[in-house]
Structure formats: C-alpha cells, structure tokens
Amino acid sequence: MIDFNNVSKRYANGYEALKHISLTVNKGEMVFITGHSGAGKSTLLRLIAGIENASHGAVTVNGQNVGALRESALAVLRRNIGLVFQDHKLLFDRNVFENIALPLYIGDYTPSEVGKRVRAALDKVGLLGREKHNPVMLSGGEQQRLCIARAIVNRPSILIADEPTGNLDTEYATQIVDLFKSFNQVGVTTLISTHDAAMIEKLRPRTLHLDHGVLVP
C-alpha cells in the first residue's frame, strides 16, 4: 500500500511542487495521475520511489516511512519498485541484456539466475532474441519496452511509469498500454502519470488529477 499524509514538496528555489497531498493507493490497484505539465506528477512518483523526500508530511510505502529510511533500507525498498521514466536512462555502451541485468547486479543472484530473469523479462515485453543488440539499434517503442523489461526484472510489487507513451506513435503506445495492463492483472500495483487520453479511455483506471501541485477532487 502507498499512503501520502499531508505531503508537500518545496524545492530550494522556493517552488512548491506539491501542496498538502493526502491519498492512498491500495495493493494491486492501477492509478493514473493526470495534470498539466508542471502540475507535480513526476514529483509525486519520485517521492514514492524515494528519489526525493517530502518537505512536509509522510510518504509510506509497504508500511515504511520512505523519508525516514536509511540508504541501505531504501535500497531494499526500491528493489520492490520498478521505475520507467521519460528519459530512458539506457546505457548505449552496453547491450540489451546488460541494460536489463543492471538492477540484478546489486542483488545476490548467480549468473544463471540473472540470465533466467533477464530472458523472462525480455519475453514479457516481446524482445526475446534481441539480447545482444545495442539499444541504439531499437526503435523508440522498443527502447521503451526495454526500459519496462529493466523495471520488472526484479519482479517488483509496485510499477511506476512517468509518461510512458509520451513520445510514441499510436501502435507502439497501444502495445505499452497492454503491457501495463497485463502486469496489473497479476497483482502489480501500477501508477502511471500521463496526458494520454486514449490510454485512460482504454483502461478506465482510477484517476488522480493534479493542478499546480494540488490534488483536485
């Protein structure tokens, strides 16, 4: 479960990205976060992942106050959270297999287990057989699927995606939507920030709307 209790986020320059946010996301839910550019969608997702800390209030994930965790405990929590951000953060000096395996290298996995998990993730996103390709050889939609494979290789209980279809054409966007739906159907709590009206119409999830950092009823 994810819980925000009167959470605000103010940056050093004085900009307040989120203002007094209170919400709960239950285990296994799919939730879309909508709002204009700069509304606070990305900030909210980053607070869940512990990439940033709240200035006020508490963010609780799986019963743990994210802002109060030490770095070692935060690292353990993040293994249960898959992240897909707009800037793919792919390593173009490594192949597809190595990009997906990155989150596993910090875990206690044997090379055999790493291989099994990577191939399973590739199979789920339809990229099996592309292990040795460089990411630059993939289309935009395939690069996004590569990012999703990396996000799920640890088999997380929570999947977070920031505008995952933002730069994709309709065909690739539809494929990405179907992937997120399939993960949610097997119990993965899924949070997606989006401007994509077609995605919302297709999935009809619970939707939270932000307006200048405020959660609008």
Total residues found in the chain within this entry? 217
Q: Which pLDDT score, from 0 to 100, does residue 138 have?
A: 94
Q: Tens of pLDDT along the chain (217 residues)?
A: 999 999 999 999 999 999 999 999 999 999 999 999 999 999 999 999 999 999 999 999 999 999 999 999 998 999 899 999 877 789 999 999 999 999 898 778 899 999 999 999 999 999 999 999 999 999 988 999 999 999 999 999 999 999 998 878 888 888 888 999 999 999 999 999 998 888 888 888 899 999 999 999 8
Please list the residues that pair with 25 across neighbouring strands: 2
* 3-state DSSP helix/strand/coil % of the chain, to nearest 5: 40, 25, 35
Cα–Cα–Cα angle for 28, 155, 113, rounded to 5 degrees = 160
Task: Annotate 28-92 with DSSP letters as a single string.
Answer: T-EEEEE-STTSSHHHHHHHHHTSS--SEEEEEETTEEGGG--HHHHHHHHTTEEEE-SS----T
* pTM score of the predicted model: 0.91
pLDDT value, residue 201: 84
What are the domain boundaries of the chain?
88-155
Query: What's the gap between Cα 211 and its chain centre?
Result: 21
15 three-state secondary structure: coil
